[in-house]
Amino acid sequence: MKLNHNYLKLNESYLFSTIAKKVAAYTEAHPDKKVLRMGIGDVTLPLAPAVVSAMKRAADEMGVKETFRGYGPEQGYPFLKKAIADYYKPRGVLLEEDEIFVSDGAKSDVGNILDIFDTDNTVLVPDPVYPVYVDTNVMAGRKIVYADATAENGFLPMPDEHTKADLIYICSPNNPTGAAYSREQLAEWVNYANRCGAVILYDAAYEAFVSEEGLARSIYEVDGAKECAIEFCSLSKTAGFTGTRCGYTIVPRELERGGVSLNKLWLRRQTTKFNGVSYIVQRGAEAVFTKEGMAQVQENLAVYRRNAAVLAACLDGLGIRYTGGKNSPYIWMECPGFSDSWAFFDHLLAKANVVGTPGGGFGKNGEGYFRLTAFADETATKEAAERLKTLFGK
Ligand code: MLT
């Protein structure tokens, strides 16, 4: 018996588990304190009524012999894949149903996709970024190189011809910095990947927050992307599905390496290791894409956007520099008076009872930064802004 020793190279616990443990220890020691949670990007508004009705109807169907369903297609029901394809159409992105794979969320697929790639690949990961990209590759023992995302490049690293990479992660709008690539910038990445035969793993989990013209919501808005990119998306942040679980991955038919279709490999992987998302959840997901569902989901997104504006206005008033908040639910702020983001985390928790995410948890370039989420409750967000003003106001 041999363990996977790569696991021993990981931090002892996952970033958000560490934060949850720290917060639990604090609340246990200070039960009288009202702690405001702006750490993990978890939604707080309920599912849209159209989604709930669809899931109730589906649950009723499951209770009747004639409409009961057992195993569904591992890649998702055609009704949901059609709804997803229709969602992309207005942006000029045409997808075939067999290019869409419904899953239980982007996080799982971002990790699982690595099954179809050799461990002897070099991966390029932006720094800072969502820790799952790094952790899943450490687990597999792959070589990781980093693309520095700093204030100097607007947290949007561009391809460097001197860097050799086989797999390239892009998260746009970015978690944690909130920076989002324009179509022109993404085109540079697509051309680079096609030139060197690399595959881009594009995480679009926050696409619904893009509000500025010219910014991409899908990498397939860029010519040539179908030849080099896999896109991951999720209803977690778009429609409050963090607890309901539904996402999708797009593997275009055009994407081949060495004459092998990646779509076929992923299909083989999914049919073997995944049994699909529950029928009830897929009916709920389908409802997100209806006119009614979309309108309701937009109402919730508007609340989160307002929260981001409240936090941004607070930091503006305090003269604390930040990015994000415009095309993203995250505010990426400098830690006033602190160079160590975990020390800042402890300070904010103890002095203002506000929880955020230390930038250092997203990579070395995240040191000195701190992430606040706009997914918290509206009242809590306003209160957190007031507490920041009290703590950092002159
Ligand atoms: C985050 O806070 O970065 C996200 O909630 C994590 C996730 O989506 O898995």
**Atom 5 in ligand 1: which residue has the minimum CA distance?**
41
Rounded-to-10 torsion of CA 51, 53, 57, 58: 20
- Domain shared by 63 and 149, yes or no: yes
353 lines ligand 1 (CB under 6 A): no
CA-nearest of 153, 175, 194 to 107 is: 175
Per-residue pLDDT of the chain (394 residues; tens, 9 = 90+): 999 999 999 987 888 999 999 999 999 999 999 999 999 999 999 999 999 999 999 999 999 999 999 999 999 999 999 999 999 999 999 999 999 999 999 999 999 999 999 999 999 999 999 999 999 999 999 999 999 999 999 999 999 999 999 999 999 999 999 999 999 999 999 999 999 999 999 999 999 999 999 999 999 999 999 999 999 999 999 999 999 999 999 999 999 999 999 999 999 999 999 999 999 999 999 999 999 999 999 999 999 999 999 999 999 999 999 999 999 999 999 999 999 999 999 999 999 999 999 999 999 999 999 999 999 999 999 999 999 999 998 7
Q: Ligand 1: which residue has its CA nearest to atom 1?
A: 41
- My answer on whether omega of the bond before 173 falls inside 30° of 0, hence cis, is yes
CATH code of the domain covering residue 24: 3.90.1150.10
Whether residue 198 contacts residue 185, with contact meaning beta carbons closer than 8 Å, is answered with no
Q: Looking at the structure, do residues 281 and 304 belong to the same domain, yes or no?
A: no
The H or E element that residue 109 is part of is: helix 106-112
* Domain of 149, in residue numbers: 51-289
Residues 276 and 340 in one domain: no
Residues 230 and 303 in one domain: no
Residues 336 and 206 in one domain: no
DSSP string, 197-240: T-EEEEE-TTGGG--STTB-SSGGGSTTGGGTEEEEEESHHHHS
Domain count across the chain: 2
Considering the domain boundaries, does residue 45 fall inside one? Answer: no
DSSP 233-292: EESHHHHS-TTT--EEEE--TT-EETTEEHHHHHHHHHHHH-----HHHHHHHHHHTSHH
Closest-CA residue, ligand 1 atom 6, reads 41
40 lines ligand 1 (CB under 6 A): yes
The answer, yes or no, to whether the previous bond of 176 is cis (omega within 30 of 0) is yes
User: pTM for this structure?
Assistant: 0.96
Pocket test for ligand 1, best of 16, 19, 331, 332 (most atoms within 8 A of CB): 16
- The two counts, helices (H) then strands (E), for the chain are 12, 15
Residue nearest to atom 9 of ligand 1 (CA): 107
Q: 2 in a domain, yes or no?
A: no
For residue 188, give the CATH number of its domain.
Answer: 3.40.640.10
- C-alpha 131 – ligand 1 centre gap (Å): 9
